[in-house]
Amino acid sequence: MSAFDLDELRDILRRMGGTDEADLDGDIAEKGFGDLGYDSLALLELCNQVERRYDIQISDDAVSNMPTPAKAVAYINSLLTAKAGA
């Protein structure tokens, strides 16, 4: 299984809509999701999309572990690694 990356995160966020796509261009890795125009409900939807694509479970409280795109990518990859090792 390939690792989840920032480009895949951007793709999911763009498909979800809700913000100006230009906000996702450039170096967004360390920007807060709120600064990018995404609230906690949008992050829950992001988690739902990732769960469906990768067949993993992300708890609702995991949003607090993902304040930035970089942290979200790292967290999702940790779940994918754990799944691969199971």
Question: For residue 11, what are the contacts with CB-CB under 8 A and spacing of at least 6?
Answer: none
In a domain, 63, yes or no: yes
Number of CB atoms found within 10 A of residue 48's CB: 13
pLDDT in the model for residue 63? 87
H-helix or E-strand containing 33?
none
pLDDT in the model for residue 25? 85
Q: pLDDT band for position 3 (50/70/90)? A: confident
Task: Give the Cα separation of 10 and 84 in Å (integer).
Answer: 23
Measured CA to CA in angstroms, residue 85 lies from 71, 75, 78, 79 at distances of: 21, 15, 11, 10
Number of domains in the chain: 1
pLDDT in the model for residue 10? 93
In a domain, 68, yes or no: yes
In a domain, 1, yes or no: no
pLDDT digit string (tens) for 4-53?
A: 999 999 999 998 876 655 578 889 999 999 998 888 889 999 999 999 99
The DSSP 8-state label assigned to residue 28 in this structure reads: -
How long is the chain? 86
The CATH number that applies at residue 36 is 1.10.1200.10
Return the structure tokens found at 85.
Answer: 């090792």
Task: Give the Cα separation of 14 and 10 in Å (integer).
Answer: 6
pLDDT in the model for residue 60? 83
